[in-house]
């Protein structure tokens, strides 16, 4: 239950207490009992059930208990039309999700997401002159919450991997490990999801260009592939579920057989998200 729901329940409880203080509730119940010819405890029981049902209908209508971002808590697995927004903590996934959803720049968030945000929205690419309805899913970047990918991968049509293009150099190893997890994910491979590396915060003068990020990630993934391969050979490592890159060749995104990978710059700041919108319209 989120803070809004807790507030709403608290307010409803206050109203009930106030109402029962202001009105003679036992007297009303006795009157209903007399009028219907039913025992008072049966009337109380029926009223309680009716109140709970009404409260349940109200909470569903107001959309409480959804995915925290104003959508259903459905994983979208049946329709297979989700565009997953993933990447390390602080890259700007939630800011991007909220901005795409509302059309207004959202840069307020400073806390790390603990839950998934989900919403079905209309995305328009001015460059393509086309729109598309897509279910966007913002997954938390914290390593302990990354298992959420397993829940949503079945419904994934495309993946946006958000990178903080300013802090990229210091985070490149962790970013590459996360991307490696996604590239080797058996469901992501099976579904042949196209992946966009969205190099966010590009409005900053210190942001690295998308091409730099892409090449650097290729190098890091090559290093990971080598160490993980060596660990597996000696029986000491976790098994990697799907293979990444081509055997006998240095890792390059263009060798990725099951997933097409592209990289582009963007900035939630200034709503400079055309590259992301275009990707969603083309691939989502």
Ligand X SMILES: Nc1nc2c(ncn2[C@@H]2O[C@H](COP(=O)(O)OP(=O)(O)OP(=O)(O)O)[C@@H](O)[C@H]2O)c(=O)[nH]1
Give contact residues for ligand X (rule: CB under 6 A): 89-95, 107, 109-110, 112-113, 140-142, 162, 200-201, 203-204, 267-269
82-87 vs 261-265, strand pairing mode: unpaired
Q: Counting contacts by CB under 5 A, is residue 113 touching Mg ion? A: yes
Beta carbon nearer to Mg ion, 113 or 184:
113
Residue 3 beta carbon to Mg ion: minimum distance, rounded to whole angstroms: 16
Beta carbon nearer to ligand X, 134 or 198:
198
Q: What strand order describes the sheet that includes 156-164?
A: 117-125, 130-138, 82-87, 156-164, 195-200, 261-265
Residue 189 beta carbon to ligand X: minimum distance, rounded to whole angstroms: 24
Closest CA relative to residue 85, chosen from 142, 136, 147: 136
Q: Counting contacts by CB under 5 A, is residue 98 touching Mg ion? A: no
Residue 182 beta carbon to Mg ion: minimum distance, rounded to whole angstroms: 17
Beta carbon nearer to ligand X, 130 or 142:
142
CA distances in angstroms from 118 to 168, 242, 274, listed in the order given: 26, 27, 20
Contact partner, 117, from ligand X, Mg ion, none, Cβ < 5-8 Å per class: none
Q: What is the C-alpha to C-alpha distance for residues 49 and 86, in angstroms, rounded to an integer?
A: 42
CA distances in angstroms from 246 to 176, 250, 258, listed in the order given: 17, 8, 11
Q: Counting contacts by CB under 5 A, is residue 94 touching Mg ion? A: yes
Q: Counting contacts by CB under 5 A, is residue 189 touching Mg ion? A: no
Contact partner, 264, from ligand X, Mg ion, none, Cβ < 5-8 Å per class: none
Query: Rounded to the nearest 10 degrees, what angle do helices 40-62 and 25-36 cross at?
Result: 110
Residues near Mg ion (CB under 5 A): 93-94, 113
């Amino acid at each position: 239950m989120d803070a809004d729901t807790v507030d709403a329940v608290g307010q409803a409880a206050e109203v009930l207490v106030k109402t029962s203080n202001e009105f003679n509730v036992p007297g009303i119940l006795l009157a209903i009992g007399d009028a219907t010819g039913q025992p008072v405890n049966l009337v109380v029981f029926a009223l309680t059930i009716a109140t709970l049902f009404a409260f349940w209908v109200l909470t569903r209508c107001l959309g409480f208990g959804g995915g925290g971002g104003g959508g259903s808590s459905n994983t979208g697995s049946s329709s297979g039309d989700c565009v997953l927004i993933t990447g390390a903590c602080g890259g700007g996934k939630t800011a991007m999700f909220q901005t795409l959803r509302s059309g207004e720049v959202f840069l307020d968030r400073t806390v790390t997401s603990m839950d998934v945000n989900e919403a079905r929205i209309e995305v328009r690419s001015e460059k393509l002159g086309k729109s598309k309805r897509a279910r966007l899913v913002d997954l938390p970047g914290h390593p302990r919450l990354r298992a959420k990918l397993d829940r949503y991968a079945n419904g994934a049509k495309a993946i946006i991997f958000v990178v903080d293009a300013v802090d990229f150099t210091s985070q490149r190893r962790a970013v590459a490990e996360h991307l490696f997890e996604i590239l080797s994910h058996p469901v992501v491979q099976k579904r042949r999801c196209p992946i966009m590396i969205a190099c966010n915060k590009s409005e900053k003068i210190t942001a690295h260009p998308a091409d730099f990020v892409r090449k650097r990630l290729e190098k890091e993934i090559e290093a990971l592939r080598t160490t993980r391969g060596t660990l597996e050979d000696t029986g000491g490592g976790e098994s990697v579920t799907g293979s990444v890159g081509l055997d006998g060749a240095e890792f390059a995104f263009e060798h990725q057989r099951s997933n097409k990978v592209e990289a582009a710059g963007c900035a939630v700041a200034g709503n400079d998200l055309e590259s992301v919108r275009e990707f969603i319209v083309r691939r989502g």
